[in-house]
Amino acid sequence: MKSILVLLMLSACIFSCKEDEPESALKGCCGNDAIDADVGNGHIYVPNIFTPNGDGLNDYLMVCGDSIDLLVEFEIRNKSGKVVFESFGPEPCVPAAGWDGKVDGVVVEGLYDVLVSVLAEDGTSHTLHGKVCNFPCDGENVTEQVPGANCQFPSQLDNGYYCPTCPSGEGDECYK
């Protein structure tokens, strides 16, 4: 009888203790496709993950493309819908024109909404939506790993297009 009671208590904790844990800010990281789309005669690419940890690699989220005349707007919102970054008319593929992952001056990891409005050289305009994972993994103080499958980084770029064979430059210690 005593062993049944212990088993029931353990079962209750297994199913309910996990519910008490806060949800991961990185839940869904790389679970969404990157923005990788044709717009008229142009093409636009915004990765679905970046790592703003100051190592000089994948530190900025930026909009890249080919045959894009104007990036009209680039906007990032947190999970509650607050705009944490916006830029009007930024230069494509320029790190300084991108988002450094900071919210109110501090890098805040998590999943964010992305909005990009573009005008292609042929006059076609389009607004694209996606999600990006701000994951400042530095390889040393890893508190959480994210699934590496489907992660598309800023460094995996070739003439404005995503390059699946280009290395991300990120180490395996941050990814499952």
Percent of the chain with pLDDT over 90: 70
Q: How confident is the model at residue 139 (pLDDT cuts 50, 70, 90)?
A: low
pLDDT digits over 29-82, tens only? 999 999 999 999 999 999 999 999 999 999 999 999 999 999 999 999 999 999
Starting from the edge strand earliest in sequence, which strands make up the sheet with 49-50, in order? 49-50, 125-134, 110-120, 68-77, 83-88
pLDDT digits (tens, 9 = 90+) for 85-114: 999 999 999 999 999 999 999 999 999 999
